[in-house]
Structures are given as C-alpha cells and as structure tokens.
Copies of this chain bind each other. A is one copy, B any other.
C-alpha cells in the first residue's frame, strides 16, 4: 500500500471514530468532530486527485443518483468523484425516464404514479452501495417528503443532494472553503450570510446549510436579512445546539453592511420568507440588498453556492473581481463528496 493510500485509510478511520452513521440528510449528522475528519479526507483527495484516481479505491462499487430537479454542479461533481474513485455512478432523472413515484402510505395507486417509495428505495438499495437523492420542495407544503421517504425505506447509505431544508454537501464544501479562507480553520472568525434579491421565493436549504456549516466550524456568524425573511426557527435552533461545543456565535441583523464588515467571507443567497405570494413585490423594494463593491469593501471574499443571478444577487463587478471565490468554492464540492463516499465504502 502506498503512503498516500495508507494516509487515506487513516483519515477515513478517523471519520469512523466520530461518525458511524450512513445518513447525510441535514449535514449535522457527523457532528463537529466527524465533519472535521471528513474535511481532512477531502483535503487529501483535493491535493492528490489524479494519483488517487489511478488507485480505483472503490472499484466494483456503485452509486445511484436520483435527481427530481435540475443540477449542474451536484450531478457533475458527484459523478466525477465517483468515477475517479473507480466506482460507477448511475444518473437517474425522477419523472423523466423513470416512473412517477408515490410517497404517501396506504394510497390506492390507480392514478399516475406507478411506483411507490416503499419498493423503489429498497430495490435501488440492492443495486447500489450508496443512494444520493435531490428533490426540491414542491407545492404549498414545501416539506421533506422525498428525502424522508428514502431515509425511511432505503437500506443503503443515503446522501441528500438538496432537499427543502438542507443541502449538506454544499454545507461541507462551504465549511472547507471557509477553512481555506481562514487559513486552515475559521474558529472565532466573522462570517457573513446575507439575504439577496432573487425573483423566486427559493427554499432555505442552502442558507440553512451555511448556518450549520458555520456553526460546526465555530464561526462568529452574522446573518443579515430583511424583515419577513428570517430563516426557519426550528432549524436554526437545532443548528445552534452545537454552538456550545464549537464556540460558534450567531448574530441576526437587518443591516447587511454591519454584517459584511470585517468578515472573512460574505455569503450571499436569495431565499423565500414568510409570504411567498407577495415575494416579487417585496423583492422589488429590496434592491439595496444586492451585493456590490461597496458592501464588499471591508470584507475579504465573496461566496455563493451557484448558479447565481448576476446583477440581481450580486453585481458583475464583484463576481468578476478579485474577491470572488465562487469557482474554488464550487470546486470543493468534488472532494467533500469523495470524502463521504470513501467513509461509507472504503
């Protein structure tokens, strides 16, 4: 076994010391120590991607990725990471090339859905060593039906590739990016998460995952948003329960300038608030929340999960300027996902 290979085995063993779970749903599952250990695996992968690729560490393994919604980064980075590790990634599109799926129990299935999650999840679990699922919220409930259904019925390890309330792989990548910006970690460092205008009332999956990542990494987090756009209070509380462990602090504010000032990163994201019906008209009056050069003046770096709407969320000038780190941030998706897969399948 090469030195590199044994370093990977050691790093993966450390993950397992802290986390033996096989569900990554909201991203809090590995806890602060498990997450830190995962990031160490990710750093080894990132620094040795091609050499690791030649090792085919997960040869003979299979990952099934089921996408009910569009994806560029998530699909590509998952498939590339899986392929580089020597395993096989099956890309499945929900409702396109597959059967309509039913998630409710006890239903008489004489409508359009041909397949029930109670069969789909266990069957896919027999073929694949890992399931990965993306399903944005649908309809007025905006709940976690799909990912919860898979969690309940899948025998295989399960990775959430973005649901209504969480995007844990984005969270892991963001924690890695913030660590890079902090010079190794970002404990006690000021991080700004700011609401920004977006034509649609998007789910809060990404901003909540940013909050979780910042708390798991011990940040001094400042969350800025206009009135009516506060993040889900239950999810905020659950994440905040880790503050004591990690030393993280969370400050909520209506002042985006104060939140940005002195931050190692300004993380912008649009999301929907407490009233989706009036989203457009409210957003029309909140143009001052677009991140521009002035907002970035006393901040160190600009982050966004992408795709980003230019000149709505953030100006061209910031995105094309020296403080934008959105490309290396997106690049970090591949190594963190590789780390999770190694932890589950090596």
Contact = CB atoms under 8 A, between A and B. Distances in A.
A199 interface: yes
A119 B76 contact: no
B309 A109 contact: yes
B76 A128 contact: yes
A170 to B, nearest CB: 13
Contacts of A47: none
Given A54-B59, A71-B98, 9 more contacts: A49-B60, A53-B60, A62-B79, A75-B92, A108-B310, A116-B310, A119-B308, A123-B330, A126-B331
A115 B70 CA distance: 12
A124 B334 CA distance: 11
Given A327-B126, A331-B126, A312 B109 contact: yes
21 contacts: A49-B60, A56-B59, A62-B80, A64-B80, A72-B92, A72-B124, A75-B98, A76-B124, A84-B88, A88-B89, A91-B91, A108-B310, A108-B312, A109-B309, A110-B199, A110-B312, A115-B307, A115-B308, A116-B310, A118-B310, A123-B327
A56 B53 CA distance: 11
Interface of A: 49-56, 59-62, 64, 67, 70-73, 75-77, 79-80, 82-84, 87-93, 96-99, 102, 105-110, 114-116, 118-120, 122-124, 126-128, 199, 306-312, 316, 319-320, 326-328, 330-331, 333-334
B83 A62 contact: yes
Contacts of A127: 73, 76-77, 80, 331, 333-334
Instruction: From A49, A73, A307, name the one whose CB has the most chain B CB atoms within 10 angstroms.
Output: A307
A314 B320 CA distance: 51
A291 to B, nearest CB: 14
Contacts of A98: 70-72, 75
A46 B111 CA distance: 36
B97 A96 contact: yes
Nearest to A60: B53
| Interface of chain A: mostly helix, strand, loop or mixed | mixed
A134 B327 CA distance: 23
A109 B199 CA distance: 9
Contacts of A72: 92, 98-99, 115, 120, 123-124
Nearest to A98: B72
A62 B84 contact: yes
A124 B333 CA distance: 11
Those 9 A-B pairs whose CB atoms lie nearest each other, nearest first: A53-B60, A83-B88, A115-B307, A126-B331, A109-B309, A108-B311, A62-B80, A123-B330, A114-B307
